[in-house]
Amino acid sequence: MTGVNYESDELLSQYLLLHYGWHEDVLTHWAGMAEFLDYPWKCAELCLDQLPEGDHYRALDLGCAVGRSSFELARRCREVIAIDYSAKFIEVASYLRDQGSYYYQRKDEGDLRTPLLAQVPDGIYRQHVHFEQGDACALREDLGTFDCVLMANLLCRLQRPDLCLQRLPSMLNSGGFALITTPATWSEEYTAKEYWLGGYERDGQPVKTEDGIREMLSPELHCFRSGEIPFLIREHERKYQWSLARFTLWRKP
Q: 5-18: per-residue pLDDT in tens?
A: 778 999 999 999 99
C-alpha dihedral, 39 to 248 to 211 to 18, nearest 10°: 10
User: Helix or strand or coil: residue 153?
Assistant: coil
pLDDT for the residue numbered 40: 98
C-alpha dihedral, 9 to 183 to 49 to 63, nearest 10°: -40
- pLDDT at position 2 over 60: no
- Convert the pLDDT of each residue in 191-243 to its tens digit: 999 999 999 999 999 999 999 999 999 999 999 999 999 999 999 999 999 99
pLDDT for the residue numbered 1: 45
Predicted structure pTM score: 0.96
Q: CA nearest 213: which of 140, 151, 134?
A: 151
User: Helix or strand or coil: residue 230?
Assistant: strand
Confidence of residue 30 (pLDDT cuts 50, 70, 90): confident
CA separation for the pair 176, 147 (Å, rounded) = 4
- Convert the pLDDT of each residue in 114-132 to its tens digit: 999 999 999 999 999 999 9
